[in-house]
Copies of this chain bind each other. A is one copy, B any other.
Amino acid sequence: MTSSVETDVALSAAQAAAPSAAPARREADDPHSPVARFGAKAPLKLDAGVELPHLQIAYQTYGEPNAARSNAILLCHALTGDQHAASLNPVTGKPGWWDTMVGPGKPIDTERFYVICSNVLGGCMGTTGPASSSPVSGQPYGLDMPLVTIRDMVNAQAMLLDHLGIDQLLCVAGGSMGGMQVLQWAASYPERVFAALPIATGARHSAQNIAFHEVGRQAVMADPDWRGGRYLAEGVTPNRGLAVARMAAHITYMSDQSLHRKFGRRLQNRDMPTFGFDADFQVESYLRHQGESFVQRFDPNSYLYVTRAMDYFDLAADYGGALANAFRGSKTRFCLASFTSDWLFPTEEARTIVHALNASGASVSFTEIESDKGHDAFLLHEPELFAIARGFLDSAARAFGLPPARKD
C-alpha cells in the first residue's frame, strides 16, 4: 500500500522544502510526523458517497509495540487537536494536547503501551484535508474536498492501523470529538476495540452545539479573505474570521465559574476602564490572544470541515434511531467520564450513552467528575480523571492478557 514510515518522513520533509509545495503549505507544515499514504488501489469510501483516491495520514507513536502487538492504544483528538498528543508540538512549540495523561509512568503509560495518535481526516497537520493538494488540479482542494464524517475519520484510522499491523486495540480513548470517534470505533469495529474510553462527549451533537459551530463557520465565511474557500490559491487567509470563530468556541470550552475564577471583572493593568474598545477586561485580552494564536496553527477550511463532521455526528440515527443498536452484542468494555461544569457535553449526554450501553448489554462504568473547569477539563490537570483512566487501563490490560504493570 505504501512505503515504510521512515521513507515517508523523508519524502514529507523534502516536499516541505520544494518551492512547488507552497500552495499546499499546511499539508507540509509538520515534517516531523510520519505519514502513511494510500493510493487509488485502496480508496477511502466516504459517507458523502464519493471515494477519496489519495489519502495521507500523519501520525505519532509513543512507546513500543510488544511482540504480539497487543498493547496498542489509539488516541483520538478533538476539533483543533492533532497527532502530537504527548510530544512537543512543532508548530506551537508547546507540549502535546494530552501531555498530562500520556507519557512514561502517566495514566496512559508509554513505558507499557504502544500509543498511536493520528491527525484526523479533514485536518491540517499532515493528514488529507481541504488544504491538501487535489490530485486532479494540483491546487489546494478548498471546498472541492468532499465533506467528511466522524465515521470517515475512523475508517481512515482503521487503514492506518492496518498499515501499522495492529489488528486489535487494547483501547481507544479521546475526549470531545475524540470521544465521538471512540464511540464510532466501538460501533463500526467492535472486534478491534477491546476497551473504549470516551470522555466529555456525546453520541450526537446538540442543537446548541450545532448553533455555536454555525456561528464559527459564518465568521470564517464572512471574512472577505475566505474567497469562497480559495484563499490558499489566492495567497490570503481569513484570519480575522477564524479568530472570531475561535473566540466564540473558546467560551464554550470553559465554564462560567472558571472564567470568573480566572478573570472575574478584573481590568487589564488599570484601575479604571478606558472608556474605549481596547481590551479593557482581562477576559477580553485572553480571548483575543486565543483567537490570534489559533490562526497561526489552524487552516480555516479545516475548521469548516471538522466542525461539520461533528455536527453530522448522530450515532443513534445511523442505527435506526436506537443508540443501543450501535453496541448490540459488543464485547468492548466501556469507561465514560463527564465533568459537572461541562455545558458543551453535559453529563446528561454521557448518561444517554450509558443507558444505551446498559440496554445493549455492554460492560460499562461511568463517573461524573466534580470540576469547575468546564469542557476543557479533559485536557487539564484532573487527578480523578487520571485515576479513572489508570485503573480502567490496568484492568483492561490484565483482562487482555498483558503482564501486570511494573512496580519500581
Give me the interface of A with B, judged by CB distance under 8 Å: 47-49, 143, 146-147, 204-208, 210-212, 214-215, 217-219, 221-224, 240-241, 243-244, 247-248, 251, 254, 256, 259-260, 262-265, 273, 275-277, 279-281, 283-284, 287-288, 291, 304, 308, 311-312, 314, 317, 343, 346
Residue among A204, A214, A308 having the largest count of chain B Cβ atoms under 10 Å: A214
Are the CB atoms of B281 and A311 closer together than 8 Å? yes
Give the secondary structure class of A's interface: helix
Give the residue of B210, B247, B343 whose beta carbon is less than 8 angstroms from that of A218: B247
Shortest distance from the beta carbon of A115 to any chain B beta carbon, whole Å: 33
Shortest distance from the beta carbon of A289 to any chain B beta carbon, whole Å: 12
Offer 5 A-B interface pairs, CB within 8 angstroms, sorted by A: A211-B283, A211-B284, A214-B284, A218-B288, A219-B219
Are the CB atoms of B277 and A217 closer together than 8 Å? yes
Are the CB atoms of A273 and B211 closer together than 8 Å? no
Are the CB atoms of A263 and B207 closer together than 8 Å? yes
Closest B residue by C-beta to A254: B208
Are the CB atoms of B222 and A243 closer together than 8 Å? yes
Shortest distance from the beta carbon of A313 to any chain B beta carbon, whole Å: 10
Q: Copy number of this protein in the oligomer?
A: 2
Closest B residue by C-beta to A305: B277
**Contacts A207-B264, A208-B251 supplied; 14 other A-B pairs, CB < 8 Å:** A204-B265, A206-B259, A207-B283, A208-B254, A208-B256, A208-B259, A210-B265, A211-B247, A215-B244, A215-B248, A217-B277, A218-B291, A222-B223, A343-B343
Are the CB atoms of B265 and A205 closer together than 8 Å? yes
Closest B residue by C-beta to A148: B275
Are the CB atoms of B275 and A146 closer together than 8 Å? yes
Q: How far is the CA of A281 from the CA of B211 in the complex (A)?
A: 9
Q: How far is the CA of A247 from the CA of B31 in the complex (A)?
A: 39
Q: How far is the CA of A147 from the CA of B275 in the complex (A)?
A: 6
A48: chain B residues within 8 A (beta carbon): 275
Give the residue of B49, B244, B280 whose beta carbon is less than 8 angstroms from that of A244: B244
A308: chain B residues within 8 A (beta carbon): 277
A146: chain B residues within 8 A (beta carbon): 275
Are the CB atoms of A207 and B275 closer together than 8 Å? no
Shortest distance from the beta carbon of A127 to any chain B beta carbon, whole Å: 19
Are the CB atoms of A143 and B222 closer together than 8 Å? no
A208: chain B residues within 8 A (beta carbon): 251, 254, 256, 259-260
Closest B residue by C-beta to A242: B222
Are the CB atoms of B211 and A259 closer together than 8 Å? yes
Q: How far is the CA of A264 from the CA of B207 in the complex (A)?
A: 5
